[in-house]
Amino acid sequence: MPMMPKRVKFRKSQRGKMKGNATRGNTVAFGEYGLQTLETSWISARQIEAGRVAASHFLRREGRLFIRIFPHKPVSGKPLETRMGKGKGEPEYWVAIVKPGTVMFEVTGVDEATAKRALARVAHKMPVQTRFVARRHAVA
C-alpha cells in the first residue's frame, strides 16, 4: 500500500510553489549510493512504491534500500463530469515534493554496478530526471 501520513493537522492543502534547490537531504546519508533528482516535482506515493518494488525485486534479499522522501502533501481532485465550484475536491492521493539535489533513494550492501542497475530501475519509475550519486567522505 502506498505511503501516507498516519495523522495530519489538515485534510487538504494548497498547491504551493516549488522554488529553489534542495538545501537539506541533498547528500547520501544512510547508504553508499543514491538516486538524486535534477528537477523539481511532486512524486506521488504510488511512484515511490513503484520505485521501491522495482529496486527490491532486483536486489532480492541482497543489500538494503532506503527511501529518503515521504509523501506528506495531500492532492485533491474533483469527480468526473462535475461542474466547477461547490468547494474544493476530496483528497485523492499523497505526494512528496522534491527539488533539484534531493536524494530520493539510497542503497547499501551491494557493489557499485549492482547499485547502479537497481537505481536505474527506480529512475524509470520516477517522473523526473535523475542521476546516480555515491557517498562522499568528508575531508574536514
Partner 1 sequence: MAKASVNIAAKAREEKGSRANKRLRDAGLVPGVIYGHKEAVVTITLPKKELVGHLEHGVHVFDLATDGKTEKVLVKEVQYDHLGLEVLHVDFARVSLDEKVEITVPLELKGEPAGEKDGGVLQQIISELEVECLVTDIPDLITHNVSEMKLDDVVHIKDLKLPAGVRALQDPEQIVCQVKEVKEEEVAPVAAEGESAEPEIIGKKPEEGEAAEGAAAEEKK
Residues that bind partner 1 (CB under 8 A): 1, 4-11, 21-23, 26-27, 32, 36, 38, 56, 61-64, 91-92, 99-101, 108-109, 131, 133, 135-140
Minimum CB distance to partner 1, residue 78 (Å): 15
Q: Quote the least distance from Cβ 94 to partner 1, whole Å.
A: 9
Locate 71 and state its grid cell: 509523501
Min CB(58)–partner 1 separation in Å: 15
CB of 34 or CB of 42, closer to partner 1 = 34
Radius of gyration of the chain (CA): 17
Q: Which is nearer to partner 1, 32 or 117 (CB)?
A: 32
Least CB distance to partner 1 at residue 43 (A):
17
Between CA 34 and CA 27 the distance in angstroms is: 8
Report the C-alpha gap between 25 and 99 in whole angstroms.
10
Q: Give the bridge partners for 103, in sequence order.
A: 36
Report how far residue 121's alpha carbon sits from residue 91's, in angstroms, rounded to the nearest whole number: 29
